[in-house]
C-alpha cells in the first residue's frame, strides 16, 4: 500500500518548513499517523517527532457551457503535516 502520494510544495509550506521544520504530504486516505511516520522515515531517512493529519472532503463544482450546466466534484484527500526532529531536513529537489 502506497502511503505517501506526493509532497506539498507551495510557497506557504516552504516557509513553514524553513521556520518550523514541518513538511506537508498528500497521503492515502486510509493511512494512520503511525503508518505515515514509518513511511516518511523509510523514504527520506529522517527522524519524525509528530504527525498531524487533515481530511479534506471533495467540493461540488459546476460550470455553465453552451450545452448546459456541467456539475461535478473535486477529489477528497488527506493531508499530513510532519514535524521533524531538530537538525533534520528533507530536500525534495536533490534528485532532479
C-alpha cell read off for 52: 498531524
What's the pTM? Answer: 0.85
C-alpha cell read off for 74: 473535486
Using left for φ > 0, alpha for ψ between -120 and 50, and beta otherwise, residue 21 falls in: left
Q: Which residues pair with 70 in a beta bridge?
A: 63
CATH 3.30.70.330 applies to domain 4-84: yes
**Domain map (residue ranges) of the chain:** 4-84
Task: Give the distance from CA 71 to its chain's centroid.
Answer: 27
Grid cell 471533495 in the structure block, residue = 58
Using left for φ > 0, alpha for ψ between -120 and 50, and beta otherwise, residue 38 falls in: alpha
pLDDT digits 0-9 by tens, 40-87? 999 999 999 999 999 999 999 999 999 999 999 999 999 999 999 999
Amino acid at each position: 500500500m502506497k502511503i505517501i502520494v506526493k509532497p506539498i510544495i507551495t510557497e506557504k509550506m516552504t516557509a513553514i518548513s524553513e521556520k518550523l521544520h514541518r513538511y506537508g504530504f498528500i497521503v492515502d486516505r486510509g493511512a494512520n499517523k503511525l503508518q505515515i511516520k514509518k513511511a516518511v522515515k523509510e523514504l527520506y531517512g529522517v527522524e519524525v517527532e509528530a504527525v498531524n493529519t487533515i481530511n479534506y472532503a471533495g467540493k461540488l463544482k459546476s460550470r455553465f457551457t453552451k450545452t448546459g450546466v456541467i456539475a461535478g466534484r473535486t477529489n477528497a484527500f488527506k493531508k499530513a503535516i510532519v514535524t521533524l526532529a531538530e537538525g533534520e531536513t528533507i530536500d525534495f529537489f536533490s534528485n532532479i
